[in-house]
Structure 1
Amino acid sequence: MRYDLFANPRAVASIPAEAEQGSSPIDYHRTVPGYQPTPLLDAPRIAQALGVARVLVKDESTRLGLPSFKMLGASWATAFAVRREWLGGIEESLSPEQLRQRIPDAGAKRLVAATDGNHGRGVARMAKLMGVACNIFVPAGTAASRIADIEVEGAEVIVVDGSYDDAILRSAEEADDNTIVVSDTSWEGYSAIPREVGHGYSTMFREIDQALAANGATAPSVVAFQAGVGSFAAAGLVHYRSDAATTPPRTVIVEPLRANCLLASARAGAITEAPPPHDSTMAGLNCGLPSQLAWPIIDRTADVFVAIDDDAADVAMRAYAESGIVAGESGAASLGGLLAIVRSGHADARAAAGLLPDATVLLINTEWATDPVNYEAVVGTSPQRVQGESDTRRQAAGVVQL
């Protein structure tokens, strides 16, 4: 397993907490069909592999009826955008069904997004719930299974001859009075909607806090986030490194070696592009440029950046499977980064990442196996079989749900 590590000299202990305005994302998400809190799992076998006291895994492999956490951001941001663009800017939080009932001339309306898979599927699901059309732009080389999953939601998928960043540029061209672009990355003149995508992710961190409090468990001392453009990582960093946090944890960002735009930017001290090709199997993380909105947060609050090869993600997928957790390539990346550090035997790298014997590590499995063919090639069995054997595997590995 190859990895590159950079310790961030600009990281600060805390940043000002964001004031919550209007209804909270978790209250809104309770109105979305299929809502229930996702599991927070105590995974002792993974803790043993990392040489730490405890590993907690927030398992987002099923969220609001989809196999990824992305629906949290897509649903909240879409609701915000529809209220702002098509309903006159009303502040009242409305459920997807209420939005469907109020959208004028819904047959002429359309949602658009660019994606490597999960975000686009979330936007497509919201379009279906609200009765509007949807176009999703994907980069060349996107797995056929990911395209098929988006099409199942009723969206038209358009393959762009280029990278994820090219798909972003193409999707931005579609914006007009009847078309809303729902992107999870920001660019010049476009930040309000991706800001709300990040806010939508706060629901999972609220659920983690509630589960820990209900079980009398201590907060994590290390939190690792996998990252593409950085929206998800920034949301987690805001939660765990704001001045409202009691004891800020050590924070680690994990990316693919072949799409390490955040590590490259941290090393350069400014937003820096990771040149293509972005061809890691961690498809949801194959991004060449950081989000302009997320980067200032990440730059100030990420302690360590780690970029890993696909072998590290593969090892993490198998480790999760042994504990009865189905994790796709991107979902396993944060664990892959920590395992790469531990297996390298470099004590200074372990210390930088906070992997001490008494540490409590929080990981988020952000997706199910969205490329089942590659999953079976890596893990040696199908994700359906791992899922079907999850109770047996978890019992054997000592996994419990908090």
Structure 2
Amino acid sequence: MSDNASFPHGPRWFAQPGTARTWRCASAPRQVRDFHAALTGYSPTPLTELPSLATELRIGRVFVKDESCRLGLPAFKALGASWAVHRALAERAANGERRGRVTLVTATDGNHGRAVARMAHLLGQGAHVFVPRGVHRQAVAAIAAERAEVTEVPGNYDDAVRLAAEAAAGPDAVLVQDTAWPGYERIPGWIVEGYSTLCAEIDEQLAAAGVAEGPDLVSIPVGVGSLAQAVVTHYRSRPSGHAPALLSVEPDAAACVLRSLVLGRPVTVETGETTMAGLNCGTPSSIAWPYLRGGLDAAVAVRDADSARAAGDLAALGVASGPCGAASLAGLRAALSGPDAGERRTALGLGPSSVAVLLSTEGTAANPRTVTDE
């Protein structure tokens, strides 16, 4: 740990002791990519190179994975929701459970709930989405526009998850939650598998751009850690070869993963208000935690102002990114600036020829590439 600056939940930066790039796990199923490729409207999202950011950060090349339009929705979440719903409904059919309409239930800070609602509508199922306080009214309206029943919860994200789990207890309901806890881990695991398509696309796109061995760093916005788990799985399941540094980025108002890494065990933090609503989560997913602890090189927390600046800079460069998506740039900037920048650069293994990939996980309401009700 190299930064003693404090915020309500502890230090803003944490680096692992150098073992993350040698940590190994099993890979995601190969059939996930084939499933997504067969969906109507599927195409790889752009990987955009931004040379001016490489100059600013004093590294070789910077690419942004632009998830502002994924399967007709303005975020990457459709990848996980589609695969998990497919697997869950197929399992019900295989088990001979009662056929007919079921209700897909979830809690969300915005994009995951909308993705589940969209899948439910496309498959002729119902959807019930629980939304915690602080989610923008436009995001709530977008979920309702997918023909979902929406219940607004006066509490935080963890409260919404608890109420969604209670509502899904009946035989005609299925909880499709992107966070896991003991006793509820299979469907969240399928959601994580769904995100592997994003990583496979990055490999192909970097190769086409002349980066055959892959990135030297990936910066990942983190809520409960499911996307980060998918990224760790992708890069730490290779038996040998180049292993990039993996950096998690959270709001300083909800840095549950950073705090857990500092303490060496998963903990719940009391969340505050943040414009990065989709990352406003107080508890790491139980299935994500072993991957985060083993495979992340470092974690950083950023302020809303940092994310807003990053979103504005990305927009000026032609990438429409919401506050959560822009956190990846804000986090890398925070890591590579300030009095400890040299130490952090060394911890991440970055030099003047390094290649970084920033995951911009969502678009904006003003983005013309998103659907009209976002």
Distance change >3 Å, CA 10–CA 159, structure 1 → 2: farther
Match of 1:152 in 2: 145
Shift in CA distance, 28/364, structure 1 to aligned 2, threshold 3 Å:
same
Partner residue in 2 for 1:8: 16
Pairing of 1:40-79 with structure 2 (within 5 A): 40-79=47-86
* Contact 1:46–1:319 (Cα < 8 Å) also in 2: no
Give the Cα separation in 2 of the matches to 1:327 and 1:362.
Answer: 15
CA drift of 1:57 comes to: 1.1
SS of aligned partner of 2:75: coil
1:287-340 CA-to-partner distances (Å, cap 9, x unmatched) read 000000000001001111101111110121012112100000000101101112
Match of 2:22, as an amino acid? Answer: S
Aligned to 1:27: 34
| Partner residue of 2:271 out of 276, 279, 296 | 276
1:142 to 127, 135, 138: 135
Which residues of 2 match residues 37-116 of structure 1 at below 5 A?
A: 37-85=44-92, 87-89=93-95, 104-106=99-101, 109-116=102-109
Instruction: Name the CA shift for 1:385/1:168 in 2 (closer, same or farther; >3 Å).
Output: closer
Alignment CA distance shift 1:178-1:332 (3 Å): same
Tell me, yes or no, if the aligned pair for 2:251 and 2:301 is still in contact at 8 Å.
yes
Local SS of the residue matching 2:167: coil
The change in CA–CA distance for 1:205 and 1:245 in structure 2 (over 3 A counts) is farther
SS at match of 2:301: strand
CA–CA separation in structure 2 for the residues paired with 1:50 and 1:314: 18
Unaligned runs of 5+ in 2: none
Counterpart position of 1:171 = 164
Structure 1 residues 295 and 20: CA distance shift in structure 2, 3 A: closer
Which residue, out of 210, 232, 235, partners 1:237?
232
Where do 5+ consecutive residues of structure 1 fail to align?
A: 91-101, 373-381, 387-402
Q: How does 1:180-329 map to 2 (within 5 A)?
A: 180-218=174-212, 219-244=214-239, 246-277=241-272, 279-329=273-323
Output the CA distance in 2 between the equivalents of 1:11 and 1:119.
32
Q: 2:344 matched to 1:349?
A: yes
Q: Quote the residue 1:392 is aligned against.
A: none
Q: Once the two structures are aligned, what percentage of the paired residues are identical?
A: 42
The question of whether the paired residues in 1 share the 8 Å contact of 2:218 and 2:246 is answered with: yes
By how many angstroms is 1:242 displaced?
2.1
Aligned to 1:391: none
Aligned-pair CA distance for 1:246:
1.8
Question: How far, CA to CA, are the matches of 1:20 and 1:5 in structure 2?
Answer: 29
Residues 353, 199 of structure 1: alpha-carbon distance in 2 compared, 3 angstrom cutoff: same
Q: Could you tell me how far 1:8 is from its partner in structure 2? A: 1.6
Is the aligned partner of 1:335 residue 2:341? Answer: no
* Aligned CA distance change for structure 1 residues 366 and 20 (closer, same or farther; 3 Å): closer
Give the 3-state SS of the residue equivalent to 1:344 in structure 2: coil
Cα distance in 2 between the residues matched to 1:201 and 1:71: 9
TM-score (norm 1): 0.85
**What's the secondary structure of 2:300's corresponding residue?**
strand
Whether contact under 8 Å (2:252, 2:301) holds in the other structure is yes
Amino acid at match of 2:283: L
Amino acid at match of 1:194: P
TM-score normalised by L of structure 2: 0.91
Tell me if structure 2 keeps the 8 A contact 1:10–1:300.
Answer: no
User: Per the alignment, in what secondary structure is the counterpart of residue 134 of structure 2?
Assistant: coil
Assess if the C-alpha contact under 8 Å between 1:138 and 1:157 holds in 2.
yes
Q: Whole-Å Cα distance in 2 between the matches of residues 41 and 341 of structure 1?
A: 22
The structural deviation recorded for 1:344 is 2.0
Q: Offset of 1:353 from its aligned partner?
A: 3.3
What CA deviation, in whole Å up to 9, does each residue of 1:117-138 have, x standing for no partner?
Answer: 0000100000001111111001
**Contact kept in structure 2, 1:10 and 1:299, CA below 8 Å:** no
* Count of residue pairs the alignment pairs up: 360
Instruction: Check the 8 A contact 2:68/2:369 in 1, yes or no.
Output: no
* Structure 2 Cα separation of the partners of residues 384 and 65 of structure 1: 12
Instruction: Tell me which amino acid in the other structure corresponds to 2:269.
Output: A
Over residues 111-155 of structure 1, what are the superposed CA-to-partner deviations in whole Å (9 max), with x where a residue is unaligned?
011000000010000000111111100101210010011111110
Residues 59 and 244 of structure 1, relative CA distance in 2, 3 Å threshold: farther
Q: Decide which moves more: 236-245 or 130-139.
A: 236-245
> Is 2:27–2:234's contact at 8 Å kept on the other side of the alignment?
no
1:311 and 1:325 map into 2 onto residues whose CA distance is 18
| Displaced runs of 4 or more, over 3 A | 14-17, 382-386
